Chains A and B, each alone.
Chain A
C-alpha cells in the first residue's frame, strides 16, 4: 500500500492516471502532455507500474499504458486530487530538511 501512496503523491503521476481514465495511451502520447524529459517520464511510469496502478504492454515499437485501479485506489486518487495531498515518508522529509539546512549554512 505504501507504493500506492508514493505513486499518488506526485501531481505528474496523478495527471497521468487522469489521462488514462479516458482511454489507454502510448508512452509517447502521455509524454507529449508534460514538459519533462523522457527519462523522468519513464521513472514516473515505473513507479505507477510498481504500485500496480497501471499495466503496460509493448505493441510494435510503442508501449501502451492502461489503468488498473481498484475502487479504493480510485477513491484515494480522487482524494489526492481534491486535497492536493503530498505523501512524504519521514525518512525523505528528514533527508530534505538536512539538505535544506546544509544549503542554508
Chain B
C-alpha cells in the first residue's frame, strides 16, 4: 500500500509555470508594441519572476526532488524545506519590491534578495552534498529504502528537476542583470553564468547517475 503521489504538485507547478511564461510573453509583446510603458513592463516582469520563485519554492518540499539524488535522509528533507522557504521568501521580496518600491530601488532590492537567496541555496546544497558523501554508507541504505518505497524519479519529477534548474538559472541571471544593469560587466557575467549553469547541471546529472549505479 502506498499513497505516494507527486503528480498533483508537479502538475500544479508546471501549469503555474506555463501561465507565468504566457503572462511574461504577453507583457514583452505589449511592451514592444508600446501598449504599456517600459516601466510598467519591468515591474510586471519582476513580479512574474517573483511569482515563479514562490511557485517553485512552495512545491519543492512536496515533490521531493532532492531525494532522487541524495537519498531520503533527515538532512535531505531539511534541505528541501529550507530551499523551499528561501525561494518563497525571495519571491515575496521580488513581488513586494516591484509592486511598491520606486523602480531603481526595486531593482536593487530584488537583486539583493535574489543573490542572497542563491547564496543560501548554494550553501545548503553544498552542505547536503558534502553530508551525503561523508555519510555514504548510511545514506546508501536510505537511498535503497527510498527506491524500494517508490521514491525513484518518475518522468514528472525529472521534468520538475529540469524546470527547477532552468528557473534557478533565470532567477540568477535576472538578479545579476538587475544588480549590474547598464554595465558591460553584467553581460560578461551573464555569459559566464550560462556556461557555469550548463556545467553545473551536467555535473549534477553525472553525480546522480554515478550514485545510482554505485547503489545498484
Partner-B contacts on A (CB < 8 A): 22-23, 49, 52, 55-59, 63, 67-72, 74
B58 touches A58 (CB 8 A): no
Contacts of B8 in A (CB 8 A): 52
Interface residues of B (CB under 8 A from A): 1-5, 8-9, 57-62, 64, 74, 77, 81, 84-85, 88, 149-150
Q: List, sorted by A's number, 6 A–B pairs whose CB atoms are closer than 8 Å.
A: A49-B3, A55-B4, A57-B1, A58-B1, A71-B88, A74-B85
A102 vs B194: C-alpha distance when bound (angstroms): 70
Question: In whole Å, how far is B168's beta carbon from the nearest beta carbon of chain A?
Answer: 16
Residues of B within 8 A of A49 (CB): 3
Nearest neighbor of A50 in chain B, beta-carbon distance: B3
Main secondary structure of the interface of A (DSSP, over half): mixed
Contact A70/B4 with A23-B74, A57-B149 known, Cβ cut-off 8 Å: no
Given contacts A55-B5, A56-B3, A71-B61, 16 further A-B contacts (CB under 8 A): A22-B74, A23-B74, A52-B62, A55-B2, A55-B3, A55-B4, A56-B1, A57-B150, A67-B77, A68-B64, A69-B61, A70-B62, A70-B84, A71-B85, A71-B88, A74-B85
Number of inter-chain CB pairs below 8 Å: 48
- Please judge, given known A-B contacts A52-B8, A57-B149, whether A70 and B59 are in contact too, CB under 8 Å: yes
Q: Inside 8 A of B57's CB, which chain A residues have their CB?
A: 71
* B61:A58 contact, CB within 8 angstroms: no
> Quick check: B1 and A72 within 8 Å, CB to CB?
no
Closest to A52 in B: B8
Question: Hey, which chain A residues are within 8 Å of B1, CB to CB?
Answer: 56-58, 63
A68 to B58 alpha-carbon distance, docked (Å) = 12
Q: How far is the CA of A63 from the CA of B149 in the complex (A)?
A: 12
Q: State A22–B1 Cα separation when bound (angstroms).
A: 23
Bound CA span A67–B88, Å: 19
Closest CB in chain A relative to B35 CB, distance in Å: 34
Measured CB to CB, the nearest residue on chain A to B86 is A71
The 6 closest A-B pairs by CB, nearest first: A58-B1, A71-B84, A70-B62, A71-B58, A57-B2, A55-B4
